[in-house]
A and B are shown apart, each in its own frame.
Chain A
Amino acid sequence: MASIARKNLFEDIPRFLVAQAGIMFAVSLVTIQLGILKGFSRSTAIVIDYARADLWVASKEMVAFELTSPLPADYINKSMTVTGVDRAEILLVRAGRWHGHDGKLSPARIFGFNPDGELFAGWRLSDGNLNDLKQPYTAIVASGVQKSLGLDETRIGSIAGLPVTIVGTAEDVQSNASSPFLFSSLETANTYGDAEINSSINCIRQASGDLDCTNSFKNRPLGQKNGDLAPPKPLSLSDPISYVLIRAKPGQDLPQLKQRLLSALPETQILTQAEIAAITRNYWEVRTGVGFILGLGATVGFIVGMVVVGQILYASVADHLREFGTLKAMGAANSVIYRIIIEQSLWMAILGYVPSMGICLTLGQWTQMTRGIMILIEPSTAAAVLLLTVVMCMGSAIFAVQKVTRLDPAIVFKA
């Protein structure tokens, strides 16, 4: 009996392929929407995930990783004096306006950290070396954003009139919710973040006695040799910083250490890495509505998929209605017929799922490589989509079964 389902399916190959294309469309839609949502969510806090700090000292006003108020730089020293702190490192999060070699502007997110540090830069470099950042006015760029920054082989650009030379590429670190990421030494990042456009006012006294003034803003000329510039000035204790990353001494009780840090550093909140990552993801998913929109996309994908699969299965059952009627007339129990329809829907589910997953994984790799946008298909996502596909197919099988249940076996005599 079991073979009726399979044979009905493969009887008409072109028809089968058209039906499978519909199911693959539905499965891919759900997978991609879910993958984008998951990939987006993961990317918003991936920089945090790569860090190796036990605790993060953040401003009390911090809303999300990239939306925070400054802390005084001397918190680094203060936190070092707290018992149980093994290591503390500064992290700067700055915004800048990138002036590409191609002349185009782009926003940029600049992170300043100590290249010799141990707590922040856990990401993998596909080229370059953290030590190269010790050269002034250098940065490591997140992979996937080169295009947005208009980076070519020369790998230069400027921020606030200061030159930037890209010395490396960090893999899989860019947030899809943010501007292109650049990583620099503390000094360089601080200088980029600080530098204003030079402005000057030139006034000429007119014959009438009036002053005619022009206000001019000047970017420093591009392509200036790094050596011609004064090196970035070291971070001073009065400079604002964004975070202090803390590594606890081995065996420390983190909640207690949190308390001690909190009393030593007023106006702060002390978070574990998981906490600050969760706050950040939650911010993007809930507070910005981006997550809602992507979640809605996945939901709509599921509904569209359900409808498409339902139509296909229903049409297929309608096509074979006479055969089902014949089976019923012959005396087949309803359960036999249900089994055929359900088996057919499972075949359709599996045969739609497998190629779709292949397509989505390939597509995901492509978007990651070319746009830096991750379509995250973890095993759990893949499993969830498989379950969803089966549910979609079985759900529509139930609709189709209704048609057969109500089928009057007397139709078999109708020509």
Chain B
Amino acid sequence: MTAIDFKRFFGKMAPSPSSPVRVMAKETAIVASHINLVYRNGGEEFNALQDVSLTVKSGEVHLLMGPSGSGKTTLLSILAGLLTPTSGQVHLLGEEITQFSRPRLAAFRLQHLGFIFQGFNLFPALTACENVEVAFHLKGTHQARRQAIELLDQVGLADRCNHRPQALSGGQKQRVAIARALAGNPQLIMADEPTAALDSQNGHAIIELLRSLAKTSGRTVLIVTHDPRILDVADRVTDLEDGKIVTKLTKAKPGQQ
């Protein structure tokens, strides 16, 4: 599995950082080139990202790792079109989203992106089913309830349809959130520390779920994490430090070396 990915990465494409625009949507899901981000707070400026270039291939599970404060969340926000970089371009599925207007960005996210958050970000007033339905409703899908139940079934929570988040464990909440992220079958899933708020057992279940999800559907999954266990599912790892990429390696899986 990883061998194929490895071959695809090195064999088919090796975009030079200076010509990222030629990349093909079919093969590369995310191309970020020369991203800089300066946070301005009053008179103070902070370079959170410096000349970051990154390519994520379609169908791969890509980890963003690095110490706290290294800029992982900042980079993820930019790649998701939630934050506009100070300079540089981001191409998602072949489209340069850094040129998009805000409404167009929103529409793009709605169609192509699913999000998983550290804090789950479920709607506390809604049941598990309704939380998933919201995503379908936003996309204008009919028969949202039936599809929501199907997705909850996929994450093993069909029997929790009518439970509100407060009645679910942390791991269950994250599974509902994953079901929500999968609604409408987006090509890109972006997750920020999906296991950080979970104990090891629940964290493991989520990792397993992410693994099967990535491997069975061919979706591109970008995960920001500190959790070394996720390395098991990853095809590649990008390490950030002080806003710069320090290594961009196909990871060596402990079990498959």
Note whether A and B form a binding pair: yes
State the main secondary structure of chain A at its contact with B. helix
- Residue B63 at the A interface, CB < 8 A? no
- Residue B83 at the A interface, CB < 8 A? yes
Residues of B close to A1: CB separation below 8 A = 134, 137-138
A11 to B55, CA, bound (A): 43
Bin the interface of chain B by size. Answer: 20 to 34
Q: Which of A4, A322, A333 contacts B121 (CB 8 A)?
A: A322
Residues of B close to A332: CB separation below 8 A = 106, 110, 138
Residues of A close to B123: CB separation below 8 A = 4, 7-8, 323, 326
Residues of A close to B93: CB separation below 8 A = none
Contact A331 B111 (CB under 8 A): yes
Residues of A35-62 contacting chain B, CB below 8 A: none
Q: Mark A269-313, 1 if CB is under 8 A from B, else 0.
A: 000000000000000000000000000000000000000000000
Residues of B close to A408: CB separation below 8 A = 82-83
A412 to B118, CA, bound (A): 9
A7 to B125, CA, bound (A): 6
A326 to B177, CA, bound (A): 11
Contact A333 B106 (CB under 8 A): yes
Smallest CB separation, A328 vs chain B (Å) = 7
With a 10 A CB-CB cut-off, give which of B77, B103, B108, B118 has the most chain A CB atoms: B77
- Residue B88 at the A interface, CB < 8 A? no
Residues of A close to B60: CB separation below 8 A = none
Residues of B76-94 contacting chain A, CB below 8 A: 76-77, 80, 82-83
Residues of A close to B80: CB separation below 8 A = 329
Q: Which of B76, B113, B125 contacts A8 (CB 8 A)?
A: B125
- Residue B135 at the A interface, CB < 8 A? yes
Contact A331 B107 (CB under 8 A): yes
Contact B121 A323 (CB under 8 A): yes
Q: In the complex, given contacts A1-B134, A331-B106, A331-B110, what are 5 additional A-B residue pairs having Cβ atoms less than 8 angstroms apart?
A: A1-B137, A1-B138, A325-B121, A326-B123, A331-B111
Residues of B within 8 A of A (CB): 73, 76-77, 80, 82-83, 103, 106-111, 113, 115, 117-119, 121, 123-126, 130, 134-135, 137-138, 192
8 contacts between A and B (CB under 8 A): A7-B126, A8-B125, A326-B121, A331-B108, A413-B73, A413-B76, A413-B192, A415-B118
